Structure 1
Amino acid sequence: MSLKVRVTEDMKTAMRAKETARLGALRLLLAAIKQKEVDERIELDDASVIAVIEKMLKQRRDSINQFEAAARQDLADAEKLEVEVLSAYMPAGLSEEELATIVAAAVTESGAASAADMGKVMALVKPRVAGRADMGLVSKLVKGRLGA
């Protein structure tokens, strides 16, 4: 079953169970998926759906930080619930050791020698860890490996 179909089925289940918060998060996700499909005139595959979810998770995490800084815990809690719902559709994350191994292999493969070559390394690493790692952490590991 594709990820998009799974989200649709979960939305129907949430609707039947009257889980309003979960239903709202799933509707937002489906709306974002449909918007991307309409904009690009394509049918999204699982990798593209994961990219949409990653983008939404990043937005939610930024919102949580801003709401907590403004002492709006009620809004931050609502965003945290959405993060929890969206995270359920992400593939299993990679450990730091696994990431370090992938980064080391990419550095070797690209022949990177300095921080100027970071783009080459990130271009190799990103498809390998798509949806399974925080790109901020990946970037930090690459910088550490290249001595930036």
Structure 2
Amino acid sequence: MELLEQLNQHMKEAMKRRDKDTLAVIRMLKASYQNEAIKLGKAVLSEEEALEVLSREAKQRKDSLREFDAAGRSDLAEQTARELDIVQRYMPEQLSEQQLRELIQNIVQEVNASSSADMGKVMGAVMPKVKGKADGNAVRAIVQEELQ
């Protein structure tokens, strides 16, 4: 099912349940989706473009969560964590650390990377394959580990 259809269906369900938190996040996701569609001049986004919107929204919440935790704002951190959980329901299943490590090791061998100077080459090959399925910071950390 396409993301927009899924969001519309879940929005109706959240309205029936009177789940204000879920409803607010779904509306925000729909707005981001529609803004991206307008920006690209399309009526419907491709699966990859929709995944990019979801990834951007999840990343914003992860960044906010770190900042709220650092500032000691547990009330905002809890709200943001709930929002992040809702956003992640629409994301593809995340790769485990072991799966990610194996993929990176294979790519390091494919591109003949041997030092940290080859990090850009490895990251350029890895990121398109894990888009939406792994956090960029986790990928970077494992790539750095593998290239040492």
With structure 2 as the length reference, what TM-score do the two structures score? 0.93
- Superposed CA offset, 1:25-81 (max 9, x none): 001111111111111112312222121111111111111122222222221111111
- Per the alignment, residue 138 of structure 1 pairs with 139
- Aligned pairs for 1:1-148 (under 5 A) are 1-42=1-42, 43-147=44-148
Q: Which moved more, 1:29-38 or 1:103-112?
A: 103-112
Q: Percent identity?
A: 35
Partner Cα separation in structure 2 for residue 68 and residue 119 of structure 1: 31
Q: Which moved more, 1:21-30 or 1:48-57?
A: 48-57
Q: How many residues align?
A: 147
Supply the AA of the counterpart residue of 1:28: M
Contact map agreement 1:4 1:46 (CA 8 A) in 2: no
Partner Cα separation in structure 2 for residue 12 and residue 120 of structure 1: 45
Secondary structure of the corresponding residue to residue 8 of structure 1: helix
Partner Cα separation in structure 2 for residue 17 and residue 90 of structure 1: 23
Contact map agreement 1:14 1:23 (CA 8 A) in 2: yes
Query: Considering only aligned residues, what root-mean-square deviation do their CA atoms show, in Å?
Result: 1.3
Please, which runs of 5 or more residues in structure 1 have no aligned partner? Answer: none
Partner Cα separation in structure 1 for residue 22 and residue 30 of structure 2: 12
With structure 1 as the length reference, what TM-score do the two structures score? 0.93
Please, which runs of 5 or more residues in structure 2 have no aligned partner? Answer: none
